[in-house]
Amino acid sequence: MSEHIVSSFDTDLDTLRSKIAEMGGIAEKMLGDATLALVRRDAALAQTIIAADARLDALQRDIEERAILTIARRQPMAVDLREVVSAIRVAGDLERIGDLAKNTAKRVVAISGELQPPKIVGGVQHMSDLVQAQLKDVLDAYAQRDDQRAMDVWQRDERIDALYTSIFRELLTYMMEDPRNITFCTHLLFLAKNIERIGDHTTNVAETIHYLVTGVALSVERPKGDKSSFTTTEAVDK
Amino acid sequence: MSEHIVSSFDTDLDTLRSKIAEMGGIAEKMLGDATLALVRRDAALAQTIIAADARLDALQRDIEERAILTIARRQPMAVDLREVVSAIRVAGDLERIGDLAKNTAKRVVAISGELQPPKIVGGVQHMSDLVQAQLKDVLDAYAQRDDQRAMDVWQRDERIDALYTSIFRELLTYMMEDPRNITFCTHLLFLAKNIERIGDHTTNVAETIHYLVTGVALSVERPKGDKSSFTTTEAVDK
């Protein structure tokens, strides 16, 4: 490549990186605010989260379009190509995290008038704190191209899955104890599932970082703390 | 482009199309079998669905890699570029449909020993029949580049959302009537949600077809039959 072309490519990459950083900031804030809105039963805050999602969607489309044009125009190879492909993937995961935070906020609105067994929200809040830490770490790992840090995030998701399983069980117990808890706990089940799925997207980003830095796709199955899909008294999914 | 290059591009596209057709066939079968496994309480059939998902994942990775290489090597423009980008998107949605069908199958295994209010499975089966028809139609629309047919699928998803909302309500009622139904109905809630989300992915594919055929992204919001995220007695999501 001529120097002119190389420098155009670098400019393209810088733009992609700064847009992904913006997406990361928005996604982190949406998840943090969704948890706050749940704990405080704050429907107004929940509405601001729902409104914020449009920006994330627009950024993702923009990143995808720019990345495709960059591939077509600059024909990057090896690590340069991985940079651009990784940008598309990370933007896709951040967009899905935004959708899940938005849905979490909608459920906060839905349950704002319901009876609430107070203890149970604590477990969901704790799980959300862990997922927020995962999201922050994986965004830092992406900014620094830090494979080790990304692999730490990838490993730690197991704890979140295990916590989700215990929340699932606890919520079933509350429902069985008192039918008046059923509507609230059902929303909370889906809400907890959303947060657990946000955790899964942070591990997707970690896998993308590994591929970006090393050039090798992760082929091993991630350890799963949530074995519950196959058991009746435990939680489910994966 | 020279004729040689043009014909290489066409070969690339043919390969992408045939791999997407294979993915579509697998995804359709997984969804159909998952529903059959639910209705028949057939845990062995459910296990075959879980095993089938790996092939779908491998095909998606293969399609994505080939598409990116095609963009870098052939530098396609306009409709040619849209063809390749659309292949990446459709493969992504089909991979997610496979994940959701796999999760549905895992829940069938989980509830295979539980009490079952028989009527309730009928509603989920009906919703799954509608989603299977949507998936078949959208795959045909993709194969034929048929925007009108894709837009029909896109419009019809509203009915599925509405059906999901009514199933959600019905399941809550069963749970309130008898606590022994809670575990079964909770799994069925997530199972129904999976199928509703498969419906959402068929509308994503429809949007991709519209973009592919017309060159214009759909900017209007899809009509939503599931208003339930904001109400307590109804179902949730979006």
List CB contacts (< 8 A) between A189 and chain B: 186, 189
Enumerate domains of chain A plus CATH numbers.
3-230 (1.20.58.220)
Q: What is the mean pLDDT of chain A?
A: 89
Q: pLDDT value at position B116?
A: 72
Where on the phi/psi map is residue B145: left (φ > 0), alpha (ψ -120 to 50), or beta? Answer: left
Residue A165 clears pLDDT 50, i.e. is over it: yes
Q: pLDDT value at position B7?
A: 82
What average pLDDT score do residues B111-128 get? 83
Closest CA to B113 of B187, B176, B47, B48: B187
**CB proximity B172 to A under 8 Å:** yes
Q: What is the mean pLDDT of chain B?
A: 89
ipTM for this prediction: 0.83
CA–CA distances in Å: residue B190 to residues A207, B16, B32, B101, B171? 27, 33, 17, 12, 11
What average pLDDT score do residues B178-184 get? 90
Residue A221 clears pLDDT 70, i.e. is over it: no
Residues above pLDDT 70, as percent of chain A: 88
Q: Is residue A150 within 8 Å of residue A160, measured between CB atoms?
A: no
User: Exposed, middle or buried, B119 (CB in 10 Å: 0-12/13-18/19+)?
Assistant: exposed
Of residues A153 and A232, the one with the higher pLDDT is: A153
> Which range is least confidently modeled, A179-193, B3-17, B55-69?
B3-17
Q: Is residue B68 within 8 Å of residue A85, measured between CB atoms?
A: yes
**CB proximity A72 to B under 8 Å:** yes
Q: pLDDT value at position A3?
A: 55
Q: pLDDT value at position B108?
A: 93
Q: pLDDT value at position B163?
A: 95
Q: pLDDT value at position B117?
A: 66
Q: How far is B100 from chain A (nearest CA, A)?
A: 9
Residues above pLDDT 90, as percent of chain B: 74
Q: Least CA distance to B180: which residue of chain A?
A: A176
Q: How far is B48 from chain A (nearest CA, A)?
A: 14
Q: Is residue A85 within 8 Å of residue B67, measured between CB atoms?
A: no
* 175-204 in chain B: CB under 8 A from chain A: 175-176, 179, 182-183, 186-187, 189-190, 193
pLDDT tier at A117 (50, 70, 90 boundaries)?
low
Q: pLDDT value at position B30?
A: 98
What average pLDDT score do residues A173-197 get? 93
Binary contact (A71, B76; C-beta < 8 A): no
Matching residue, tokens 């007695």: B233
Of residues B128 and A113, the one with the higher pLDDT is: B128
Give B126-151 pLDDT, tens digit per residue. 999 999 999 999 999 999 999 999 99
Binary contact (B190, A114; C-beta < 8 A): no
DSSP code for B179? G
